[in-house]
Amino acid sequence: MLQTAVHLLPQLALYLVTALATHLVMSFGQTLIHYKLAHHPMGGQLFRSHINFHHTHYAKDHLVSSAYLGDEGNTTPYFLIPVFLIGAFSYFVLPIDLFVVEVCACAASFYAHVLFDKAYHVEGSWLQRFAWFRRKQELHFVHHRHANSNFAVIHFFWDRCFGTYRGPGTVFKTVN
DSSP 36-61: HTTTSGGGTHHHHHIIIIIHHHSBTT
Residue 146 lies in a domain: no
In whole angstroms, what is the distance from residue 151 CA to residue 143 CA?
Answer: 7
Full-model pTM: 0.85
The CA-CA-CA angle for residues 7, 11, 12, to 5°, reads 105
Residue 148 lies in a domain: no
Split into its structural domains, the chain has a count of 1
In whole angstroms, what is the distance from residue 66 CA to residue 59 CA?
Answer: 15
pLDDT at 176: 43
**Residues paired with 65 in a beta bridge:** 122
CA dihedral 59, 61, 67, 73 (to 10 degrees): -10
Instruction: Kindly give the confidence (pLDDT) of every residue in the chain, 176 residues in length, as a single tens digit, with 9 standing for 90 and above.
Output: 777 777 788 899 999 999 999 999 999 999 999 999 999 999 888 888 888 888 877 877 788 887 887 665 667 778 888 889 999 999 999 999 999 999 999 999 999 998 999 999 999 999 999 999 999 999 999 999 998 999 999 999 999 999 999 998 766 554 44
Residue 99 lies in a domain: yes
Residue 106 lies in a domain: yes
Show the domain range for 80. Answer: 10-128
Residue type, 74: N
Residue 107 lies in a domain: yes
In whole angstroms, what is the distance from residue 33 CA to residue 113 CA?
Answer: 13
Contact assessment for residue 153 and residue 28, using Cβ atoms and an 8 Å cutoff: no
- Cα 89 to chain centroid distance, Å, stands at 22
Contact assessment for residue 64 and residue 121, using Cβ atoms and an 8 Å cutoff: yes
